[in-house]
Amino acid sequence: MHEHSITNEVVHQIVHACEDKDITPKKIKVKLGVLTTYKKDSVLLYFEGHKKEIDILKDCELDIEEVPGKIVCNECKKESKVEPSPLILCPFCDSADIKVIQGDKVVIAEII
């Protein structure tokens, strides 16, 4: 259900950007980090609902690229890919002292 709120935010940003530049988007490319735990199919479903309500989006396609999670461990300094989890540990040394370096954001990459 939290996909509804992020989809609303993405749609708001897209509409605002398109109105500022006086363009009608045909395709929107979004990078969806897997560590956000937002589900691609749910975001697409909510976007389809917005297309019916917002004229500027009626002929627009949403293209979502899922971005894998990646961390760097502050203990052993190694980088690794990770899956969403309530507790993310370094797979090399089991430290919880990690920094997420990829996959924790939703980014509007391109409006075409």
> Global pTM?
0.90
Q: pLDDT category, 1, cuts 50, 70, 90?
A: low
Residue-wise pLDDT tens digits, 9-60: 999 999 999 999 999 999 999 999 999 999 999 999 999 999 999 999 999 9
State the pLDDT at residue 45.
95
CATH number at residue 84: 3.30.2320.80
Looking at residue 73, its pLDDT comes to 98
Strand partners, 65: 31
CA 98-64-36 angle, to 5 degrees, is: 30
- Give the contacts of 5 (CB within 8 A, at least 6 positions apart): none
Domain total in the chain: 1
**Tens digits of residue pLDDT in 52-101:** 999 999 999 999 999 999 999 999 999 999 999 999 999 999 999 999 99
Domain extent for 47? 2-111
